[in-house]
Amino acid sequence: MSNFIKVLGIKLSIIFLLVDCLQGRGGPDKIPPGNVKDLSLVNVDYYGAEIMFTAPGDDIYSGKASKFELRYSTDQNFALVPEKYFGVLGTEVLETPEPPPAGQKVRVFVKNLEPKTKYFIGLRTYDEAMNFSDVSNIVEFTTKDVPGGSGEVVGRISISSEVLSSDGQKIYLIFPGLYTLEEVGETFKLTPIRTDIPPIKGARIVWDGEKFISLGGSVSNELIQSAIGIFPDGRMVIMENSGDIVPFGRNGFFGYGFMNHKILKIDDKTFAVLGGVKFLSPRVDIAVEEGKVSKIGLEKIPIFRVEGNKMVWSILYTQATTYPFSVLDPAVFMAERGERRNIIIWGGNQSESAIVPSSRMTRLELSDLPVWNEYMPFSGMVLKTYNTCEAESVIRMIKVKNLEKTPEDIREIEDPMSLNKGDRFIYQGKAVEVVEDFYLRRYFVIGRFRKEYSEFSGIFGIFSDGEKEILSRIVPTIGKSNFVIPGISSACSAEYLKDKMYILHTGEIYIIRFRNYEILVEE
């Protein structure tokens, strides 16, 4: 009898122990969080999407879970067999909120997505013991196109010019000669202004309001040791230098000359020279052979102000939490946030003799004490980049609301840029009314981009609303196909004029038309 009682006691102890384990008391937690079954899409943009779901608990649907694992993919197998491919094909969203108590609604904005792309998204939930739920229901969505559209290739011209620039009215092609490129009907007309300007290679050009200023470069290996002013009518002047630094010569800031730099406009008459390589011999080939070449750092930034045919030089001394790399041909642009102006530098080649592209982005706020800091856009994949050029435009964002009734006098709109607040028109088959408008600044970066072990020539857009910047790839079309820019083997030049971007590299001009507006319908 006593043995029977002992055996019965052991069995009861085992049963109680199993119950304790299942209930999470007195043993390891074996109960996983509940499955999310109501994952849904709240809204979608060109760079991301917001999703919503009800939080499960630590144990099924009670308590508070430990973490969410949110993943997305462009592969349909992710949606068809989620339990198999969730971790294999899915990219994890690193910025997820801490799980709230069970039953509460959770919203997550998923950033860094590509425009015009179909995505599948799902999630798992974990508890502290790393028990995890099944994969949730999968949500499918397609991101929007970038503001102003991805562009349409409308022209291609072969030419021997080295540099493309603009005075805000026309496109100019310089070195060798000086030409204008104008749109005439559906064609483009090339007009020579002066043909005896030599083929300077490696120069950078800016427009100061009355003339182009060429800085840097070489002719037949001889470095150019002065800035050149080129007027739209073909007149040329050698720019005088004054101020705090001597730009050229044995002890000059730029040595006997420099290349692979960028010139950024600070205001109407003031410009900054960023990055590049300087030569400590008057000839490029000899300087390279003798190792008399060095990169231009970004701790001290040369600034020049144009006064007629004179350049007044000064140095902008900077501090840093992290200095940018000293690079060749970085992408540079100005981001304005309210009254604050920031110089942004992205990528560039870290070597004078090989291709070692950087992906680093740094920001310099122009203030009494300018400081370099690490920088990341609000959304976007920051790739390694080099051989870049930039262009800039503005997009008018027109917000409209749907009307319950269609007015009798409503009309189709021919020119969206002429719309004003309160105007009513037909959009996508529905009657709408303009509520408000605002502007986005759109910076284009054209060049070579490297992602892990793959590399391509392409275009990225940086879209700024004055508070944040969105980085997004832009893929123009030609006919019904995507347009792939041929390999950019050296630094390019680009300008945006009216509704078109002009890109010049390796003897070809590519002309891409964009919209300068975007119509947004209130949800």
Task: Report the alpha-carbon angle 215-221-223, nearest 5.
Answer: 30
Q: pLDDT grade, residue 511 (50/70/90)?
A: very high
β-pair partners for 440: 395
pLDDT of residue 339: 79
Residue 9, pLDDT > 50, answer no
- Cβ-based burial of 224 (10 A; exposed 0-12, middle 13-18, buried ≥19): buried
More confident of the two residues 321 and 7: 321
Ranges of CATH 2.60.40.10 domains, the chain = 40-142
- Cβ-based burial of 405 (10 A; exposed 0-12, middle 13-18, buried ≥19): exposed
pLDDT of residue 138: 98
- Segment 257-263 mean pLDDT: 98
pLDDT of residue 19: 39
Residue 5, pLDDT > 70, answer no
Q: Decide the pairing of beta strands 384-402 and 517-521.
A: parallel
- Spatial strand order of the sheet with 228-230 comes to 204-207, 212-215, 228-230, 236-238
- 8 Å CB contact between 207 and 165: yes
pLDDT of residue 16: 40
Helix (H) or strand (E) holding 87: helix 82-89
CA dihedral 290, 295, 301, 305 (to 10 degrees): 60
pLDDT of residue 30: 81
- Segment 236-254 mean pLDDT: 96
Tokens at 269, concatenated: 């008459």
The listed CATH number (2.40.50.100, 3.40.50.10800, 1.10.443.10, 2.60.40.10) that belongs to domain 40-142: 2.60.40.10
d(CA 442, CA 18): 63
- Coil, strand or helix at 189: strand
Rg of the Cα atoms in the chain: 30
pTM for the predicted model, two decimal places = 0.89
pLDDT of residue 516: 96
Residue 380 CB neighbour total at 10 angstroms: 23
Residue 3, pLDDT > 90, answer no
66: which residues sit within 8 A by CB, 6+ positions away?
58, 99, 126, 127, 128
Give me the helices (H) in 171-307, please: 284-289
Helix (H) or strand (E) holding 80: helix 77-80
- 8 Å CB contact between 326 and 384: no
Q: Rounded to whole angstroms, what are the CA distances from 203 to 161, 176, 226, 487, 492? A: 12, 12, 11, 21, 11
Among the listed residues 276, 362, 360, 364, the one whose alpha carbon sits nearest the alpha carbon of residue 318: 364
**What percent of the chain lies above the pLDDT cut of 70?**
95
Determine phi and psi for 89, rounding to 5 degrees: -100, -15
d(CA 276, CA 202): 10
d(CA 378, CA 331): 18
- Amino acid identity, position 425: F
List, as one string, the DSSP characters of 416-457. Answer: GGG--TT-EEEETTEEEEEEEEEEEEEEEEEEEEEETTEEEE
Q: Where are the beta strands (DSSP E) in 19-66?
A: 40-44, 49-54
pLDDT of residue 27: 55
- 8 Å CB contact between 274 and 388: no
- 8 Å CB contact between 321 and 374: yes
The dihedral region occupied by 429, where left means phi > 0, alpha psi between -120 and 50, and beta the remainder, is left
Among the listed residues 502, 477, 514, 496, the one whose alpha carbon sits nearest the alpha carbon of residue 190: 502
Interval 37-75: pLDDT, tens: 999 999 999 999 999 999 999 888 889 999 999 999 999
Ranges of CATH 2.120.10.80 domains, the chain = 152-521
For the chain, give the mean pLDDT. 92
Among the listed residues 322, 335, 328, the one whose alpha carbon sits nearest the alpha carbon of residue 358: 328
Tokens at 325, concatenated: 């790399």
Please tell me the CATH superfamily of domain 152-521, with its number. Kelch-type beta propeller (2.120.10.80)
Residue 7, pLDDT > 50, answer no
Residue 26, pLDDT > 50, answer no
List, as one string, the DSSP characters of 133-193. Answer: ------EEEEPPPPTT-S-EEEEEEE---SEEEE-SSSEEEESSSEEEEEEETTEEEEEEE
Tokens at 326, concatenated: 């000293």
Residue 97, pLDDT > 50, answer yes
Task: Report the alpha-carbon angle 209-211-214, nearest 5.
Answer: 120
Among the listed residues 470, 493, 475, 476, the one whose alpha carbon sits nearest the alpha carbon of residue 382: 470
Residue 276, pLDDT > 80, answer yes
- 8 Å CB contact between 322 and 373: yes
Q: pLDDT grade, residue 452 (50/70/90)?
A: confident
404: which residues sit within 8 A by CB, 6+ positions away?
none
Interval 410-433: pLDDT, tens: 888 889 999 999 999 999 999 999
Q: Diameter of the chain by CA atoms?
A: 119
d(CA 507, CA 157): 8
pLDDT of residue 414: 86
The dihedral region occupied by 87, where left means phi > 0, alpha psi between -120 and 50, and beta the remainder, is alpha
Cis peptide bond prior to 101, omega within 30° of 0: no
pLDDT of residue 6: 47
Residue 145, pLDDT > 80, answer yes
Helix (H) or strand (E) holding 266: strand 262-267
